[in-house]
């Protein structure tokens, strides 16, 4: 039993030596392979961009071969997918259906193969918001009113922001003013200082990008 234990220790020591030598001397004949930069999760707002690039940087004792998988299937260079010389993958013509797609790069040489972590692509979007006519609301003081802000379809979600023309900053929400879930700005009661033009903008919650801006109401 003692002899078997010594053999086991000797084999373990030799393996560690080979790995250390390959790591410290890349010019040696020993094979090695490193995935130095792999793909990571990304979120793309397709109103502003319809393509994305995932990195895949590798070092090896011999020129590594780099391939990619999309949702577990091998990718070929074509019009939508481009694998660059540096290993990066560019995907073009993105749309809403690409939300949740996964990507892995696979690198290999005479040392072996490495599969990267899975990177997930999240798609954010906001549909067009058409400009409606100005709404003129004439109310007596102390009466309430709501200004519409018809929010468009969006993913993963949007929020409405209201401003008053000629003033700085967003309209705060308080006991008198509140922005409803559907984007309307509602006043519990009006004051003379409320008179003026109001603008509503919407932003995608995850990316905080203001995409649409239009005048929705005027209080006189």
pLDDT tens digit sequence for 10-54:
222 222 212 222 333 444 457 889 999 999 999 988 878 899 999
Q: Are residues 142 and 213 in the same domain?
A: yes
Task: Give the model's pLDDT for residue 159.
Answer: 80
Q: How far apart are CA 150 and CA 127, in angstroms?
A: 12
Where does a domain end: 125, 144, 176? 125
Dihedral sign, CA of 120, 151, 131, 171? negative
Dihedral sign, CA of 129, 131, 137, 142? positive
Q: Are residues 51 and 97 in the same domain?
A: yes
12 found inside a domain:
no
152 found inside a domain:
yes
The CB density around residue 190, as the number of other CB atoms within 10 Å, is 18
Does residue 166 have a pLDDT over 90? no
Q: Are residues 109 and 36 in the same domain?
A: yes
Q: How many domains does the chain have?
A: 2
Q: Are residues 145 and 194 in the same domain?
A: yes
Q: Are residues 163 and 94 in the same domain?
A: no
Residues 100-110 have a mean pLDDT of 94
The CB density around residue 15, as the number of other CB atoms within 10 Å, is 10
171 found inside a domain:
yes
16 found inside a domain:
no
Q: Are residues 51 and 79 in the same domain?
A: yes
179 found inside a domain:
yes
Q: Are residues 139 and 117 in the same domain?
A: no
In tens, the pLDDT along 48-83 reads: 889 999 999 999 888 889 999 999 999 988 889 999
Residues 185-208 have a mean pLDDT of 78
The CB density around residue 144, as the number of other CB atoms within 10 Å, is 11
Q: Are residues 180 and 199 in the same domain?
A: yes
Task: Give the model's pLDDT for residue 128.
Answer: 67
Q: Are residues 196 and 137 in the same domain?
A: yes
Where does a domain end: 63, 93, 125? 125
CATH number of the domain to which 100 belongs: 2.60.40.10
Asked if residues 176 and 188 have their Cβ atoms less than 8 Å apart, the reply is: yes
- Of 171-180, 181-190, 197-206, where does mean pLDDT reach its minimum? 197-206
Q: Are residues 111 and 133 in the same domain?
A: no
The pLDDT confidence band at residue 141, using thresholds 50, 70 and 90, is: low
Read off the pTM. 0.61
Task: Give the model's pLDDT for residue 69.
Answer: 96
* Domain containing residue 209: 127-219
Task: Give the model's pLDDT for residue 73.
Answer: 95
């Amino acid at each position: 039993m003692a002899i078997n234990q010594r053999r086991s220790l000797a084999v373990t020591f030799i393996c560690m030596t080979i790995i250390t030598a390959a790591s410290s001397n890349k010019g040696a004949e020993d094979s090695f392979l490193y995935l130095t930069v792999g793909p990571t999760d990304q979120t793309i707002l397709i109103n502003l961009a319809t393509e994305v690039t995932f990195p895949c940087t590798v070092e090896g004792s011999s020129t590594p071969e780099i391939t990619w998988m999309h949702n577990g299937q091998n990718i070929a260079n074509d019009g939508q997918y481009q694998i660059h010389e540096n290993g990066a993958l560019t995907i073009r013509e993105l749309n809403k259906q690409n939300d949740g797609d996964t990507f892995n790069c696979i690198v290999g040489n005479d040392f072996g193969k490495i599969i990267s972590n899975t990177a997930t692509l999240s798609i954010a979007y906001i549909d067009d918001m058409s400009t409606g006519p100005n709404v003129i609301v004439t109310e007596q003081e102390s009466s309430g009113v709501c200004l519409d802000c018809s929010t468009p379809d969006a993913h993963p979600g949007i929020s409405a922001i209201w401003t008053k023309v000629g003033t700085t900053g967003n309209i705060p929400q308080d006991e008198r003013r509140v922005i409803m879930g559907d984007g309307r700005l509602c006043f519990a009661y009006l004051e003379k200082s409320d008179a003026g033009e109001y603008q509503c903008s919407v932003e995608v919650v995850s990316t905080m990008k203001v995409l649409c801006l239009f005048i929705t109401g005027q209080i006189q």
